[in-house]
Amino acid sequence: MNTIMFINKTYIITGAGQGIGFTIAERLASQGAVVFLNDISEALAIEGAQKIRNAGGDATPIAGDAGDVQFIRHMVDVAVEKSGKIDGVVANAGITTFGDFFSYTPEAMQELLQLNMAGTFFLAQAAAQQMKNQQQGGSILLMSSVVGVQSHKYLAAYAMTKAAIQMLARNLVIELSPYRIRINTIAPGATITERTMAIEPEYDETWSNLTPLRKPATTNDIADAALFFLSDQAGHITGQTLVVDGGWTAVSPAPGEAHFKEVKQG
């Protein structure tokens, strides 16, 4: 990829104190972008932005809840106030709540919907409104999951939100294309992050066995796809979902394997 692709471009990435979001922010900044790094944890937002600045990048922490509509609008205002514009956003923040369907609670559902669906929708809305005003186009990237297209035990509610995110990108092609705003989605498969390793210490080994390419994704694998979608190289691509899963969704697991074992996946 052309390394000057993101010079003088401004991006907001939510849920980026660690994991996939952090790597996307780090990689954008390393290629010249100005990044606004959001996390609900103030400590992680500050620490993440500091790491990027230590490496010579331009990063500003914005701590707050990416599921809170007032905060989302404030976050876009702050970025525009400091940078004069935004070129793209990554609606990356999302929670994964595992739960037996029969005992899944309304409270867990509400929390999940508020961040994964409302947070994603209203960040896209706030960013698109700003990009429409700027009249320079822009790129919006949403974070889905392989479980938005293939079933996985105990992830019914989460899977529903991730499938909805893919449809949101497809639907908004109609309203955003007239303003040259592109909107796409990445559906990561099992990815090694601080969270997935904490949930399951054997995560790497488990998913190496379950994945045709014999390894789970790294956050850089997902960031490679993210930078492509955000760049002008994807200038004629909108409304699409790219699955980055080492082949997992291409293969139907045999009964007794992934679907029926106590295997966790984010």
Ligand X SMILES: NC(=O)c1ccc[n+]([C@@H]2O[C@H](COP(=O)([O-])OP(=O)(O)OC[C@H]3O[C@@H](n4cnc5c(N)ncnc54)[C@H](O)[C@@H]3O)[C@@H](O)[C@H]2O)c1
> Is 252 assigned a catalytic role?
no
> Is 158 assigned a catalytic role?
yes
* Residue 138 lies near ligand X (rule: CB under 6 A): no
- How far apart are alpha carbons 190 and 203 in whole angstroms? 9
Identify the residue among 60, 130, 145, 238 touching ligand X (CB under 6 A): 145
* Residue 246 lies near ligand X (rule: CB under 6 A): no
Stretches 86-94, 97-105, 131-139, 228-236: which one binds ligand X (CB under 6 A)?
Answer: 86-94
* Residue 195 lies near ligand X (rule: CB under 6 A): yes
Query: Which of these is catalytic: 139, 158, 231, 264?
Result: 158
Which residues touch 164 (CB under 8 Å, ≥6 apart)?
117, 148
Count residues contacting ligand X (CB under 6 A)? 31
* Residue 85 lies near ligand X (rule: CB under 6 A): no
Q: Which residue type is seen at 256?
A: G
Work out how close the CB of 140 gets to ligand X at its nearest, in angstroms, rounded to a whole number.
14
> Is 11 assigned a catalytic role?
no
Strand runs labelled E in the chain = 10-13, 34-39, 58-63, 88-91, 138-143, 181-188, 241-244
| 189's tokens | 């498969």
Q: Which residues bind ligand X (CB under 6 A)?
A: 14-15, 17-21, 38-41, 44, 65-67, 92-96, 115, 143, 145, 188, 190-191, 193-196, 266
